[in-house]
Amino acid sequence: MADIHSDKILILDFGSQYTQLIARRVRECQVYCELHPFDMSLDDIKAFQPKGIILSGGPKSVYEEGAPEITEELFELGVPVLGLCYGMQLMSRHFGGQVVPAGKREYGHADLLSLGTPGPLFDGFFSDGVSSVWMSHGDHVETMPQGFEVVAKTSNAPVCAIQNVALNLYGVQFHPEVNHTPKGELLINTFVRKVCNCAGLWTPGQIVEDAIVKIREQVGSDQVILGLSGGVDSSVAAALIHRAIGAQLHCVFVDNGLLRLNEGDQVMATFAENMGVKVTRVNAQQRFYDALSGVVDPEKKRKIIGNLFVDIFEEESQQVVDAKWLAQGTIYPDVIESAGAKTGKAHNIKSHHNVGGLPDYMTLKLLEPLRELFKDEVRAIGEELGLPQQMVWRHPFPGPGLGVRILGEVKEEYCDILRRADAIYIDELYASGHYHKISQAFAVFLPVKSVGVMGDGRTYEYVVALRAVETKDFMTAGWYPMPYEDLARISNRIINEVKGINRVTYDISSKPPATIEWE
């Protein structure tokens, strides 16, 4: 079997909000890559053995005091390097170029004009000498670096793409990783597959084969336990591990009362009944409701839910004789964001429920077969493993479940109201064909009452908000333009069918400034 990690790209992060997008674009070229901080040591870079290196953008100016620097010897490794925005400016300065504040900043769409020397990276990038790109910069290269030539410019910036073909060094002032650069994926694919000569080994089938071999090598004849939530990540992890070691896997499904309608029964039907996986179902709804009583702070709720899950899971794991491993559905964005929070290179907006190791009193070793994968890759291997499409392509669901979709205190009554409203909403999205056009949709329970009229009587009941967003990366998101007639039908059904609700609203805020979830 081919080594799917043999051809790989290293991405050095200088603080760009788009860095994860760069990694995803490289993976879409069927090539493995890793994202590391800009101050990765030269020895570690050499040990990584990249076929190519990408330098990300960043929010600083290269001439600012304390701005992120680069390991100077990086350009002497003999591997192709592509600098994006800040990365291009660092490259330019290293080779004697001068970077200065632009007379006019460029943010948003721009027309990139070819200067007639496209070179290997830009093959097919320009149509009639022009290509639409997305800019986000306040500085530009004023004096060219030694040994480089200008490939393209905009009406505002005379140097927007540079190359030194002899040294295999390239830089662009724009962002090819974002959707707003229509041919950006082509440029990244050209760099990865043609300039760096990487083979396309990173495919769902080969990822599954590689993971199965590694799981068997790690685990041997040991017993493994896994907390099955019904979400995409834990479900794919369970299916993958079961494919590798069969009956050595023991799943514990904790029904915490914060799940979607009939979700517990669906999980048991998929894994225990149809796939033959050993699953223990723990009905712990009341324990969670009691623990959450009176708690309104979102982070406190998250911690209570997470800690109680660990307690119950630990109780159940004692029933598995000779269990040596705890399997988790940790995925690559969890790892990146948690590492960033620890090193101070990223803001910790809210805590991840499955990153950070195990409680001290648990002696199990961690098994995380999805740790290298982005969400879209997890879905792809879920399909490869034969999981139901409706499970694999289900919208994301937070670890704390309805606990963070009920604003303020969590009560059983609120959970029952919300899960029924949410089920109607999702049912209508499927029926109207909107579900797979939307990245994430859900209902939110608001612990406020409003006056209404039903029949000839006055009502004083609760409010739910409907949320639906479109996004490529979940770092930014826009609200989904739901047709009025569909909103009217959804609202009508919820108010008529869910006792306790007399008002439905639709959330039209984007991320940023709002987050996708309400808590």
Annotated binding residues for ATP, written as ranges, equal 229-235
251 catalytic residue (yes or no): no
Q: For residues 323 and 326, what is the distance between their CA atoms, to the nearest angstrom? A: 8
Q: For residues 50 and 169, what is the distance between their CA atoms, to the nearest angstrom? A: 15
**Burial annotation 266-286 (CB, 10 A radius, 16+ → b, else e):** bbbebbbeebebbbbbbebbe
Name which of 255, 248, 87, 101 is nearest 173 in CA terms. Answer: 87
Query: Binding site membership: which residues?
Result: 229-235
The structure tokens 């409003």 sit at 450
Q: How would you class 65 by CB atoms within 10 Å of its CB: exposed for 0-12, middle for 13-18, buried for 19 or more?
A: exposed
CA-CA-CA-CA torsion for 45, 48, 49, 51, nearest 10 degrees? -90
Indicate the residue type of 76. Answer: E
3-state secondary structure of 321: coil
Q: For residues 205 and 210, what is the distance between their CA atoms, to the nearest angstrom? A: 9
Tokens of 9: 């790209």
Contact criterion met (CB below 8 Å) for 516 and 465: no
The catalytically annotated residue of 137, 140, 175, 242 is 175
DSSP letter string, 18-33:
THHHHHHHHHHTT-EE
69 catalytic residue (yes or no): no
The catalytically annotated residue of 33, 137, 160, 177 is 177
CB atoms within 10 A of CB 329: 26
Name which of 91, 131, 86 is nearest 111 in CA terms. Answer: 131
**Three-state SS across 251-279?**
EEEEECCCCCCCHHHHHHHHHHHHCCCEE
177 catalytic residue (yes or no): yes
CB atoms within 10 A of CB 371: 16
> What stretch of H or E contains 89?
helix 86-94
Catalytic residues: 85, 175, 177
